[in-house]
Amino acid sequence: MNTFDARTRYALLATLDLAERYASGKPVKVREIAARTRTPAKYLVHILLQLKRKALVNSARGPKGGYWLLRPPELISVAEIVGAVGKASPPGRPGAANKTRAGVLKQVWTDAERKRHEFLAHVTLAQLLAGEGAGRSAPPRVR
């Protein structure tokens, strides 16, 4: 089941596209990324701007311009990308004992989101490009 929203999926696809081209050192045009990732170019521009604000990508204008990753793919985690474009959920309050059913469910959801984030923090773009990730690379066990 895919639990990422469209914006997050497009951001991951775009950063993977940039990661594939990282070694060339050349900027990649939005229309090229959009075509390869099947992302609407106008929508992709907004996503790339969010990634730029979080210092994950940079850009240059002009005929030789485009976007590129600011760090090597092995130093960018999936969690960083998700955090840059995803909707922030309100942080759970640890230790706040709410014994109602709604409170218990909220705490379970908060714990699951925290563990998901911790897991994604150990998966890099380089691992995804290598065909690794959730099933093949074993990140440190989260407690």
Nearest to 18 by CA among 51, 61, 50, 53: 51
Q: Would you give the DSSP letter of residue 54?
A: T
pLDDT the model gives residue 86: 81
Q: How would CATH label the architecture of 6-129?
A: Orthogonal Bundle (1.10)
What does the pLDDT profile of the chain (143 residues) look like in tens digits? 357 889 999 999 999 999 999 999 999 999 999 999 999 999 999 999 999 999 999 999 999 999 999 999 999 999 999 999 986 554 445 555 567 888 888 888 888 888 988 999 999 999 999 997 655 444 444 44
Task: Report d(CA 13, CA 30) in Å as an integer.
Answer: 12
pLDDT the model gives residue 133: 65
- pTM of this structure: 0.79
Task: Report d(CA 43, CA 51) in Å as an integer.
Answer: 13
Boundaries of every domain in the chain: 6-129
**3 state DSSP class of 68:** strand
Task: Report d(CA 30, CA 60) in Å as an integer.
Answer: 11
pLDDT the model gives residue 139: 45
Burial class (CB in 10 A: 0-12, 13-18, 19+), 112: exposed
